[in-house]
Amino acid sequence: MPEHPPLEAAWTRLATLAARPAARDIKALFAADPERARRFSASFEDLTFDFSKNAIDGDTLVALLDLAHEADLDGFRARLFAGEVVNPTEGRAAMHMALRSAADAGMRAALPGGVDEASRLAAAERDKMHDFVRKVHAGELRGATGETFDTVLNIGIGGSDLGPRMAVDALTLARGPRMEARFLSNVDGHAFAALARAMNPARTLVLVASKTFTTLETMTNAKAARAWLAAALGEEAVSAHFGALSTNLKAVADFGIRPDQVFGFRDWVGGRYSVWSPIGLPVALAAGWEPFQAMLDGGAAMDRHFLQTPFAQNLPVLLALVGVWNINALDLRTHCVLAYDERLRRFPAYLQQLEMESNGKSTALDGNPVAQATCPVLFGEPGTDAQHSFMQLVHQGTQPVPVDFILAAEPDHDRPEAHRILAANAFAQAEALLRGKSRQEVEAEMRAKGMSDATIAGVAPHRVFSGNRPSNTLLFRRLDGYALGRLIALYEHKVAVEGWLWQIDSFDQWGVELGKVLAGGIIPALAPGAAAGVHDGSTAGLIRRFRTLRGET
């Protein structure tokens, strides 16, 4: 992988701009240019990205674009799409874009000792998925008792759960599912117990999503589901009711899953980028193949936009540069995502993994500590629910929290007035973060209501909003498969751009490994009569207390 260009001068320019006396005064920028949204927004098809409610003026935008150019973002983008190694700690390409490409797109991915024909391989697996979905929906594939499947249970964790769970919500909540999709990720036995009560084993298709077929939580849950189904239908029913999203064919066969119900993907697909792969099979089963294919098409369209569009009009690049400005120049270390759409209720959770697992790093590509702050803490909920929970902090907390507002202009329901109210709230929240409310405005309102001077003096300070709190708005026509795919790919590429500017590997995730390793050592110590093992004083004491509470000392 080529060396990252030195960027000290570019970062210094941004720091100098951020140190200006009025650098955070967004209201002043609008006062000077009420039409600034025309200059500080960009569109692709019907999707508009308005970043004018950030403390960014013309000089700042130029400096941010200069940072991108000086970092050779264009070269990184070209290497990413060429399938070169962009994940150096694992020696892998990151070619999830091939999963949504046409069979003849020609995308290739570097492997240790060779190259994969990524587009061709992805298309072949996609055709196999399509045929499977068709047969399940047509009733050609049935359960062991001859009943058709009406439920798909997806057992996975992390990227094997968050992506498909989010996409199923987005594509089925409004119009209803072709099949009921249920998801099991938490190894807590209560999760499976609740699901088992709601499912008919004779009509349930179980998908085990684990590339290696060794993930502890996933395989623990898979064994529970297997036992549940075998108890109800007999051991011989397992092969008819289970499929696997995995590449470990031997382990899958040992589990009792037949080869024609196994779907794989390669190492150039990271878990959090895998919803486009067979990991998305529950999406196609629940929503139908056409919406799933439309999601792939939307992602591919955003790929072309990201690859071909100049940085100044490039939505993923601009979204990333705004993030870099807020994080690195203004020292804002949290970020909020508010989708004003119930169908996107799981989108913030999906982005938490995408962003924080990708860019939650403190070591640079050269092995040294990073020179800049990296990923912010991300949180969010659907609007308008969030307005009645954590938005108090976002409006009046001690530190501004940048917000992404996401909204479709057209709903998929027959209550237009409800959607106008929803949209009004989204626009109002963004405007309130910008404008705030001064002490003079508060006192005038209170006097107009006949409140006493004493009451005004005591209460007015608590009703003041500082304003000048940054936000972005992403507005598009309607939420369908194509729009969803475009939105997911937008954030995928934003994450890659930020990671390159911070000089980190956005495609590995070593930080999740240590806890897994230590858990493997602690599990035997929790058995009755087992030795506690060697641990720190707190952990050893908690193990002893756990066993005492269970009466297993």
Same domain, 264 and 348: no
**Taking the CA of residue 173 as centre, how many other CA atoms within 13 Å lie in the half-sphere pointing to its CB?**
15
What single-letter DSSP state applies at residue 405? E
Catalytic residue (choose from 388, 417, 449, 462): 388
Same domain, 119 and 227: yes
Q: What is the CATH number of the domain that holds 318?
A: 3.40.50.10490
Per-residue pLDDT of the chain (553 residues; tens, 9 = 90+): 677 788 999 999 999 999 999 999 999 999 999 999 999 999 999 999 999 999 999 999 999 999 999 999 999 999 999 999 999 999 999 999 999 999 999 999 998 888 999 999 999 999 999 999 999 999 999 999 999 999 999 999 999 999 999 999 999 999 899 999 999 999 999 999 999 999 999 999 999 999 899 999 999 999 999 999 999 999 999 999 999 999 899 999 999 999 999 999 999 999 999 999 999 999 999 999 999 999 999 999 999 999 999 999 999 999 999 999 999 999 999 999 999 999 999 999 999 999 999 999 999 999 999 999 999 999 999 999 999 999 999 999 999 999 999 999 999 999 999 999 999 999 999 999 999 999 999 999 999 999 999 999 999 999 999 999 999 999 999 999 999 999 999 999 999 999 999 999 999 999 888 888 888 889 999 988 888 788 999 999 999 899 999 998 7
Query: How many Cβ atoms from other residues are within 10 Å of residue 195's Cβ?
Result: 20
Residues 281 and 357 in one domain: no
Q: Are residues 122 and 253 in the same domain?
A: yes
Q: Are 488 and 169 in contact (CB under 8 A)?
A: no
Q: Indicate whether 189 and 336 sit together in one domain.
A: no
Does 502 share its domain with 515?
Answer: no
Structure-token pair, residue 92 = 């892998």
For residues 216 and 359, membership in a common domain is answered with: no
Q: How far apart are CA 283 and CA 179, in angstroms?
A: 10
User: Are 126 and 199 contained in the same domain?
Assistant: yes
Domain of 221 in residue numbering reads as 107-287
Is residue 212 domain-shared with residue 340, that is, in the same domain?
A: no
Token couple for 481: 């498969």
Q: How far apart are CA 289 and CA 291, in angstroms?
A: 6
Annotated catalytic, 419? no
Query: Do 260 and 319 fall within a single domain?
Result: no
Quick one: 249 and 337 in the same domain?
Answer: no
Q: Which of 374, 320, 375, 379 is nearest to 349 (CA)?
A: 379
Six token digits for residue 358: 């990708």
Tell me, yes or no, whether 126 lies in a domain.
Answer: yes
pTM of the model: 0.96
479 phi, psi to nearest 5 deg? -95, 105
Number of domain units in the chain: 3
Say if 79 falls within a structural domain: no
Residue 354 is assigned to a structural domain of this protein: yes
Q: Which of 223, 413, 516, 552 is catalytic?
A: 516
Assigned domain for 449 exists: no
Element (H, E) at 231: helix 216-233
The verdict on residue 458 lying in a domain is: no
Residues 170 and 264 placed together within one structural domain of the fold: yes
- Amino acid 530: pLDDT: 86
The whole-number pLDDT of residue 195 equals: 97
Task: List the catalytic residue out of 180, 217, 355, 357.
Answer: 357
Whether 3 sits among the annotated catalytic residues: the reply is: no
- Is 78 domain-assigned? no
Angle between helices 189-198 and 216-233 in degrees, nearest 10: 40
Task: Report the run of H or E that residue 474 belongs to, with start and end.
Answer: strand 471-478
Last residue of a domain, one of 267, 287, 307: 287
**Is residue 243, in this structure, part of any structural domain at all?**
yes
Task: Please indicate whether residue 513 is annotated as part of the active site.
Answer: no
Per-residue b or e along 200-226, where b marks 16 or more CB atoms closer than 10 Å to that residue's CB: ebbbbbbbbbbbebebebbbebbebbb
The answer as to whether 347 is a domain residue is yes
Q: Which of 287, 317, 351 is the last residue of a domain?
A: 287
